[in-house]
Structure 1
Amino acid sequence: MTARLLSFIAGGKPGYGLARDGGIVDLSARHGSEWPDLRAVIEAGAVDRLVAAGEALSPDMAEADVGFDIPVPNAEKIICVGVNYPDRNGEYKDGQEAPPNPSLFPRFARSFVGHQVPLTRPKASEQLDYEGEVVIVIGKAGRHIPEAHALSHIAGLSLCNEGTLRDWVRHAKFNVTQGKNFDGSGAIGPWFVPFTGEDQIADIELTTRVNGELRQSDRTSRMIFPFAKLIAYISTFTTLVPGDMIVTGTPTGAGARLDPPVWLKPGDMVEVAATGLGTLVNGVRDEGEGGAA
């Protein structure tokens, strides 16, 4: 069974643990004085030790007893990649070949929720769209990282629904930041799966379903910019540090490209799944409404 580390909220307090078939082992209760959160665990290079400790213990609580948070709630940086699958590039119908370098933009942690927490459709727009993606979690700091050594800087993987307000990504001439950062419009999770080597990421099958209907499907082997290239390129201009997350791009099939476009609405259920990483599930609610997915 693949190890699954998660950040959670229980009894109003943040924690972290190991997801087991029978529930969750509360590792923060045992190791919180040494490592207050998963970012600290990653920075200490203690992921394998933490997993081994958790696997020797019985679950303390059921998954239903916690609220899922994003895996690294206090990441210094979340950097997202645009147009990283061949068919996605073709969707733009501009006749241009794939660019030589990746398109990048930042997202703030506040724009993401955890697994089983509903995405928020904001008051400012009804054009909330889904984007299923694989997430790299950085484990070792680096600047000007050679592509040949880039994979050694990965601590683990997660999943993202990179929810986007389509009209707001076109509010300005050159950037998409505002349409990508509405509070609670996207999700990351359910958990953090430790990185085990190149074979783990070489050909991940990535799918997105809305209300059970398959909307997106592709494989990481077809990425225009593979994981190692992304890490090397991004580290050229910024120092990557433990806990940073890179959201690696979405396949074709988002709601904006349907004819007519189909936006997410309250009551919808979105499932992003990938080989070995599980399934990230989120409902949708309107801003100002409570409730869970």
Structure 2
Amino acid sequence: MKLLRWGPKGQEKPAILDKQGTARDLSGLVPDIAGPVLSDTGLAMLRGLDTANLPQVPQDARLGPCVGQTGKVICIGLNYSDHAAETGAQVPPEPITFMKATSALCGPNDPIIIPRGSEKTDWEVELAIIIGTTARYVSEDNALTHVAGYAVANDVSERAWQMEHSGQWTKGKSSDNFGQVGPWLVTRDEVSDPQALGLWLSVNGSKKQDGSTKTMVYGAAFLVSYLSRFFTLHPGDIVMTGTPPGVGLGMKPPQFLKPGDVVELGIDGLGQQRQDVVVDPRG
């Protein structure tokens, strides 16, 4: 099952993709793709709907982040050994964990906004885990039962702010429109193995990243279990699981995004995104 949200930013409505690939509005049935809707019971209710009688979403509608009411975005750094190597870093003995501000979240085709003063805005295609039910001290064997589904994410990063300024990585990860998520939340029953997904990203038609989640150092089940040791994961929380090699920082010489660039990315079975790169319209 593929769930999505559509409409103006901050006013998104829930929707479901029918078997013909047509988006159908759910706003008359559920308030959002969030909270109890993400539980196994909520998803089963949606799965049992006769979508043929639901209103169609306009084909030109803007898509928002595929999950709403996200309380926190937890990101995992250097989670692909080949990506760590390209950046000159060592594979960490435990997952590197940092936060991305929820205000960075946006729709899958919303632009990448280069913030004021940025010179090193970079791209990162990532598998996003969407939490469905509260997880606290969960075992690795049981971890994925707390997952509603998966999505494509672009963990956009400002490398100078992330790595050349003192302090934590969060400030290099949290600018507006630094977190495209979607187009869909694909429920976990449609993803037989989250560690067997191809993922890719191109800039201006030139492929930069072409990897697989099988090379993740720490897999999805381990990450949910590991994170739940330190804080409670709630429905709607997002875990961005790291990126494969091919980021701009790792190129020789490094390459970073500039206004006018077009970024496209996708993950097998989870859909694709397309983003225009623009300067911050606020100056």
Q: Deviations over 1:137-166 (max 9, x none)?
A: 011112111111111111100011110001
Which consecutive aligned stretches of 4+ in structure 1 deviate over 4 angstroms post-superposition?
A: none
Letter paired with 2:174? N
Q: Tell me the TM-score normalised to structure 1 length.
A: 0.89
Residue 256 (structure 1) aligned to one of 249, 261, 268? 249
Residue 49 (structure 2) aligned to one of 53, 75, 88? 53
Moved more, 235-244 or 169-178: 169-178
Aligned to 1:273: 266
Kept in 2: contact 1:160–1:189 (CA 8 A): yes
Deviation at 1:46, TM superposition (A): 0.8
Q: For the residues of structure 2 that align with 1:119 and 1:174, how far apart are their CA atoms?
A: 24
Moved more, 200-209 or 11-20: 11-20
Q: For the residues of structure 1 that align with 2:103 and 2:156, how far apart are their CA atoms?
A: 13
Q: For the residues of structure 1 that align with 2:212 and 2:54, how far apart are their CA atoms?
A: 35
Kept in 1: contact 2:13–2:32 (CA 8 A): yes
Q: Tell me the TM-score normalised to structure 2 length.
A: 0.92
Letter paired with 2:43? V
Q: For the residues of structure 1 that align with 2:246 and 2:276, how far apart are their CA atoms?
A: 19
Q: Deviations over 1:211-267 (max 9, x none)?
A: 111111111111100001100110001011111110000001101111222111222
How many residues get paired?
A: 281
Q: For the residues of structure 2 that align with 1:100 and 1:136, how far apart are their CA atoms?
A: 22
Aligned to 1:152: 145
Q: For the residues of structure 1 that align with 2:148 and 2:212, how far apart are their CA atoms?
A: 21
Secondary structure at 1:201's aligned position in 2?
coil
Aligned to 1:70: 65
Deviation at 1:57, TM superposition (A): 3.2
Q: For the residues of structure 1 that align with 2:238 and 2:181, how far apart are their CA atoms?
A: 10
Aligned to 2:33: 38
Q: 1:239 to 1:174 in 2, by over 3 A?
A: same
Matches within 5 A, 1:72-221: 72-94=67-89, 96=90, 98-196=91-189, 199-221=192-214
The question of 1:27 aligning with 2:26 is answered yes
Kept in 1: contact 2:195–2:220 (CA 8 A): no
Moved more, 17-26 or 267-276: 17-26
Q: Deviations over 1:266-293 (max 9, x none)?
A: 2211111111101122111110179xxx
Q: For the residues of structure 2 that align with 1:252 and 1:132, how far apart are their CA atoms?
A: 10
Moved more, 197-206 or 211-220: 197-206
Q: For the residues of structure 2 that align with 1:77 and 1:137, how far apart are their CA atoms?
A: 11
Deviation at 1:87, TM superposition (A): 0.3
Q: 1:110 to 1:10 in 2, by over 3 A?
A: closer
Q: For the residues of structure 1 that align with 2:141 and 2:11, how far apart are their CA atoms?
A: 41
Secondary structure at 1:170's aligned position in 2?
helix
Moved more, 35-44 or 72-81: 35-44
Kept in 2: contact 1:119–1:282 (CA 8 A): yes
The question of 1:9 aligning with 2:7 is answered yes
Kept in 1: contact 2:74–2:238 (CA 8 A): yes
Matches within 5 A, 1:280-291: 280-288=273-281
Moved more, 230-239 or 106-115: 106-115
Gaps of 5+ in 2: none
Kept in 1: contact 2:68–2:236 (CA 8 A): no
Secondary structure at 1:110's aligned position in 2?
helix
Letter paired with 2:48? A
Deviation at 1:188, TM superposition (A): 1.0
Kept in 2: contact 1:43–1:243 (CA 8 A): no
Q: 1:93 to 1:108 in 2, by over 3 A?
A: closer
Q: 1:22 to 1:57 in 2, by over 3 A?
A: farther
Residue 220 (structure 2) aligned to one of 219, 227, 235? 227
RMSD: 2.1
Moved more, 199-208 or 36-45: 36-45
Q: For the residues of structure 1 that align with 2:177 and 2:12, how far apart are their CA atoms?
A: 18
Kept in 2: contact 1:23–1:59 (CA 8 A): no
Kept in 2: contact 1:27–1:54 (CA 8 A): no
